[in-house]
Amino acid sequence: MDYKATENIQDLQYFGEFGGVNPSISDSSTYTFISAKTMFDTFEGNTEGCYLYSRHSSPSNLYLGEAMAQLEGTEAANVFASGMGAISSVIFQLCDSDEHIVCSRTIYGGTYAFLKNFVKKFNISTSFVDITNLEMVEKSITAKTKMIYCEAISNPLLEVADIKALSKLAKKHGIPLVVDNTFSPLNINAAKLGADIVVHSLTKFINGSSDCVAGAVCASIEFCLSLKDVNDGAGMLMGSTLDSLRAASILKNMRTLHIRIKKHSENAFYLAKQFEKDGLKVVYPGLESHPGHEIMKSQMNKEYGFGGLLTLDVGSVEKANALMELMQKEKLGYLAVSLGFYKTLFSASGTSTSSEIPMEEQEELGLSQGLIRFSIGLDNDIHSTYSSMRKCMEMLDILENNTTLV
Ligand SMILES: *Cc1c(COP(=O)(O)O)cnc(C)c1O
């Protein structure tokens, strides 16, 4: 059957208590029971549709969870207080002490720090591999490996994971493939391509208004229930619960995700093409020069484009900083981490969101100090944005081997 995430999300209807077009917000931490027996059964997980305590679940969180499940095409989804809350819960749910993870070496800095430093406390070890090298990935799998973990489009290098191939490999070894799809909601349906568990930071494109942090895990009903288990569920017991008011506001913002993603992609693609023509070192999955371009084309939903992220290597951290400060002064965007905002956001990854990765390792990955990550905004006139950005670059002599202005 043809899978249409947008239509599926829009067909989800929840009316408010008084027939409102938006669902009522659940404004309670605890819920009453008429019978003590039902309360006991709810604790045991035997009652559908009964709420117990909002760390376990709440109506607003369930609505957002259902929308996330529709987005990824999974049976179910749980929401969390942050992307890291979602990611850490998945890792602790799947791994016991002395077990092992095979993980892409280019991932979000927080996830990297969690896997490299934090889970050591529990004797969980991680092999960081080049995820585009399937042979390497397979060689790293041992009897103790509990998952393959990667990002659909990686942060900040924008490597494209071959989700179909990785899923085959994971199946062969009887382990789940966990994909962080934060950079490419709607662009890539990771679960449809074979990912067993899809995690998201809702903080970014999905919420899109940079006003809160939140996360989600999209997976089978069985796995989502296990995360909420009162006895051994990592989501339930580590307590990174999303507040209902936030869940409601994120759900409302999700209604326009398809329009925003198209515009982010359109603007980013335009800038990437222009920068490439200018002879700049630009990385964008939509460019033929991108090593993952063909894989991206084969696994993307064409109508949503190649995503809103691009990187530009301007040679040195000094130049990167000067350019970002100037662009901010010219109101072209904000010098800020994060992504998915209506305004363009830029940061030098090596000294910000990836600073958890030691310098030598950054170099090995190809993460140079002059690399600026751009989350391209919803600018109405991207042509004028481009000419203003170009002027900034000219002022800073970034366009040495420049071509003529088009
Ligand atoms: C931001 C981000 C996270 C972490 O999400 P938070 O909501 O900040 O906890 C995880 N993965 C990726 C790819 C991200 O960009």
C-alpha 201 to ligand 1 mean position (Å): 5
Q: Which of 103, 201, 212, 309 has most ligand 1 atoms within 8 Å of its beta carbon, as the pocket-test mutant?
A: 201
Q: Quick: pLDDT tens for 105-133.
A: 999 999 999 999 999 999 999 999 999 99
Over range 348-369, report the average pLDDT: 80
> What domains are there in the chain, each with its CATH number?
7-254 (3.40.640.10), 257-395 (3.90.1150.10)
Q: What is the pLDDT of residue 13?
A: 86
Q: Supply the residue whose CA is at minimum distance from atom 4 of ligand 1.
A: 83
Question: Which of 25-34, 254-263, 344-353 is modeled with the greatest confidence?
Answer: 254-263
Establish how many alpha carbons lie within 13 A of residue 265's alpha carbon, considering only the half-sphere containing its beta carbon: 23
Ligand 1 residue neighbourhood (C-beta within 6 Å)? 82-84, 108, 110-111, 151, 155, 180, 182-183, 201, 203-204, 213, 215
Q: What is the pLDDT of residue 164?
A: 98
C-alpha 291 to ligand 1 mean position (Å): 24
Q: Are 349 and 314 in contact (CB under 8 A)?
A: no
Long-range contacts of 223-226 (CB under 8 A, 24+ apart): 223/76, 223/93, 223/196, 223/197, 224/65, 224/75, 224/76, 224/77, 224/78, 225/45, 225/76, 226/93
C-alpha 183 to ligand 1 mean position (Å): 9
Residue 55: pLDDT over 80: yes
Cα(396)–Cα(272) distance, integer angstroms: 19
Q: What is the pLDDT of residue 405?
A: 46
Q: Supply the residue whose CA is at minimum distance from atom 7 of ligand 1.
A: 83
Over range 258-265, report the average pLDDT: 98
Q: What is the pLDDT of residue 34?
A: 87
Q: Supply the residue whose CA is at minimum distance from atom 2 of ligand 1.
A: 201
Q: Which of 89, 115, 204 has most ligand 1 atoms within 8 Å of its beta carbon, as the pocket-test mutant?
A: 204
> In angstroms, what CA-CA distances link 54 with 27, 32, 62, 207, 242?
9, 12, 11, 21, 9
Residue 406: pLDDT over 50: no
Chain centroid to CA 59: how far?
Answer: 24
Residue 403: pLDDT over 70: no
Cα(374)–Cα(339) distance, integer angstroms: 8
Q: What is the CA radius of gyration of the chain?
A: 22
Q: Which class for 404: exposed (0-12), middle (13-18), buried (19 or more C-beta within 10 A)?
A: exposed
Q: Which among 151, 143, 42 is positioned nearest to 105, based on CA atoms?
A: 151
Amino acid letter, residue 276? E
Peptide bond into 156 cis (omega under 30): yes
Average pLDDT of the chain? 93
Q: Are 144 and 95 in contact (CB under 8 A)?
A: no
Residue 147: pLDDT over 80: yes
> In angstroms, what CA-CA distances link 74 with 66, 168, 272?
9, 18, 33
Residue 1: pLDDT over 80: no
C-alpha 205 to ligand 1 mean position (Å): 11
Amino acid letter, residue 270? Y
Residue of higher predicted confidence among 211 and 12? 211
C-alpha 44 to ligand 1 mean position (Å): 33
C-alpha 373 to ligand 1 mean position (Å): 15
Over range 77-96, report the average pLDDT: 98
Q: What is the pLDDT of residue 401?
A: 53
C-alpha 1 to ligand 1 mean position (Å): 32
Establish how many alpha carbons lie within 13 A of residue 328's alpha carbon, considering only the half-sphere containing its beta carbon: 13
Q: What is the pLDDT of residue 352?
A: 76
Q: Quick: pLDDT tens for 305-333.
A: 999 999 999 999 999 999 999 999 999 99
Q: Are 176 and 196 in contact (CB under 8 A)?
A: yes
**Cβ-based neighbours of 189, under 8 Å, separated by 6 or more:** 3, 5, 72, 73, 301
Over range 263-268, report the average pLDDT: 98
Residue of higher predicted confidence among 51 and 78? 78
Cα(299)–Cα(398) distance, integer angstroms: 34
Residue 201: pLDDT over 80: yes
What is the band of 52 on the pLDDT scale with cuts at 50, 70, 90?
confident
Ligand 1, atom nearest to 84 Cα: 9
**Cβ-based neighbours of 173, under 8 Å, separated by 6 or more:** 138, 141, 145
